[in-house]
């Protein structure tokens, strides 16, 4: 074959290959454009959905950089978060930062921001981590809920409860007083059946008085009107005082109480009345929900960071795993406990958690059904945080969960 024929064939082959490549590129370009259009359409749809949500949603990278933010989140971002008392909310305690730093879901935190127009908005923030295929933190998805209306509705209900409780106190005090006088023989002698009736009236009015005191405490905490007044106080002495006050209940159930208070520095800044309420409630719960002949351990230990951790441990009925996330919520009582005791009102643990959170302390627990419970109360090195208030909380007898 002549040289020019080979050259011509090569040119034809090259042209065909070039045309084939161009066709493939055109097809791939078309497919790419279609995919890009689908992606853009999907992004527009996602943006439309996010921007029309009644809540704020944003995504933060594992490095703490914003990735996606809907319209409401943009309106609420870039402002200083505050607590209810107007003090700045620590950045490290914000749910988004907790999730990024600790790689865990962060529970709801209620915050306040002041908008440009000076209006205060109350928000609830919560966040959840998202991990890549290798299990490495990729981002945190954060939700912001405007709870301003909810806050004022709850406040109105709380103020009503407070007012009603105050009004109930006077007739209840009269019932208690007159019942007690009758039982002590200050009037004409009672027959046996009359005495039984009066005793039941007295017991019922006492339970009602305890409930009224509890409702007043709840309203004072929720309205933020209670005071925290820390003084230098011996933690071990406080524990010993509370256990002595409850010794009769401990003896009646033949419970073995073990005290172990080992502190390098037992004196810390705390409000003895409030911390006494916390210890009293935890210990009373343990007595109440531990079978006769059981064991309760109470004590305190010093931590490396200078904090003090109080513990109340029992080998009682425990808390079912499925119900443990609800244990500090208002009016909640475990199903296994309700079958054993119908008298509790489910406010005790809610109250003491509110007290501790309001004073810079913390509480948590470990439990297994039928294998007991241990509660931990952490007092930071600086002690309980001082808080101004017009009211003081009353004791918690009868407030058990």
Q: pLDDT of 202-246, one tens digit each?
A: 888 877 777 777 777 777 776 666 788 899 999 999 999 999 999
The contacts of residue 5 (CB under 8 Å, 6+ apart) are: none
SS3 140: strand
The contacts of residue 311 (CB under 8 Å, 6+ apart) are: 297, 298, 299, 300, 301, 374, 375, 376, 377
In a 13 Å sphere around the CA of 113, the CA atoms on its Cβ side amount to 19
DSSP 137: E
Query: For the whole prediction, is pTM greater than 0.85?
Result: no
Residue with the two structure tokens 């009359």: 194
* pLDDT value of position 169: 75
Largest CA distance in the chain: 143
Cα 334 to the center of its chain, rounded Å = 17
**Which residues is 228 bridged to in the sheet?**
387
CB atoms near residue 352 (< 10 Å) = 27
* pLDDT value of position 67: 83
Q: Do the beta carbons of residue 286 and residue 246 sit within 8 Å?
A: no
The pair of three-digit structure tokens given for residue 150, joined into one six-digit string = 């909810």
Antiparallel, parallel or unpaired: β 295-302 and 256-262:
parallel
* pLDDT value of position 239: 94
Q: Report residues of the chain scoring pLDDT below 50.
A: 1, 396-401
* pLDDT value of position 118: 76
* pLDDT value of position 399: 41
CB atoms near residue 400 (< 10 Å) = 26
The contacts of residue 123 (CB under 8 Å, 6+ apart) are: 56, 76, 81, 110, 111, 112, 113, 144, 145, 146, 147
Q: What is the Cα–Cα distance from 357 to 45, expressed in whole angstroms?
A: 41
Return the H-helix or E-strand segment holding 89.
Answer: none
- What is the DSSP annotation of 153-193? HHHHHHHHHHHHHHHHHHHHHHHHHHHHHHHTTSSSPPPHH
Residue with the two structure tokens 């161009």: 22
* pLDDT value of position 18: 64
In a 13 Å sphere around the CA of 322, the CA atoms on its Cβ side amount to 2
């Amino acid at each position: 074959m002549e040289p020019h024929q080979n050259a011509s064939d090569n040119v034809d082959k090259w042209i065909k290959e070039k045309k084939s490549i161009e066709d493939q590129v055109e097809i791939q370009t078309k497919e790419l454009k279609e995919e890009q259009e689908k992606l853009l359409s999907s992004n527009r749809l996602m943006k439309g959905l996010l921007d029309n949500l009644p809540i704020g949603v944003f995504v933060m990278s594992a490095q703490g950089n914003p990735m996606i933010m809907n319209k409401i989140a943009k309106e609420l971002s870039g402002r200083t978060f505050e607590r209810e008392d107007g003090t700045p909310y620590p950045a490290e305690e914000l749910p988004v930062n907790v999730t990024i730093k600790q790689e865990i879901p962060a529970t709801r935190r209620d915050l306040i921001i002041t908008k440009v127009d000076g209006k205060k908005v109350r928000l609830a923030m919560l966040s959840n981590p998202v991990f890549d295929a290798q299990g490495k933190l990729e981002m945190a998805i954060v939700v912001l809920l405007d709870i301003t209306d909810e806050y004022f509705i709850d406040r109105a209900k709380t103020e009503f409860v407070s007012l009603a409780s105050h009004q109930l106190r006077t007739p209840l005090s009269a019932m208690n007083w007159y019942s007690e006088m009758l039982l002590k023989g200050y009037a004409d002698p009672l027959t046996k059946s009359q005495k039984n009736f009066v005793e039941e009236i007295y017991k019922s009015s006492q339970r009602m008085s305890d409930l009224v005191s509890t409702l007043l405490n709840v309203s004072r905490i929720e309205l933020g009107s209670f005071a925290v007044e820390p003084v230098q106080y011996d933690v071990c002495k406080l524990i010993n005082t509370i256990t002595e006050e409850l010794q009769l209940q401990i003896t009646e159930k033949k419970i073995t109480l073990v005290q172990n208070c080992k502190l390098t520095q037992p004196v810390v800044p705390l409000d003895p009345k409030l911390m006494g309420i916390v210890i009293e409630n935890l210990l009373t719960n343990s007595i109440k929900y531990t079978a006769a002949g059981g064991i309760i351990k109470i004590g305190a230990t010093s931590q490396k960071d200078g904090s003090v951790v109080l513990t109340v441990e029992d080998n009682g009925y425990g808390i079912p795993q499925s119900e443990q996330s609800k244990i500090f919520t208002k009016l909640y009582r475990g199903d296994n406990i309700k079958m054993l005791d119908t008298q509790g009102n489910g406010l005790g643990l809610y109250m003491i958690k509110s007290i501790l959170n309001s004073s810079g302390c913390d509480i948590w627990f470990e439990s297994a059904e039928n294998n007991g419970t241990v509660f931990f109360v952490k007092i930071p090195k600086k002690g309980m945080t001082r808080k101004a208030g017009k009211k003081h909380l009353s004791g918690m007898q009868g407030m058990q969960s």
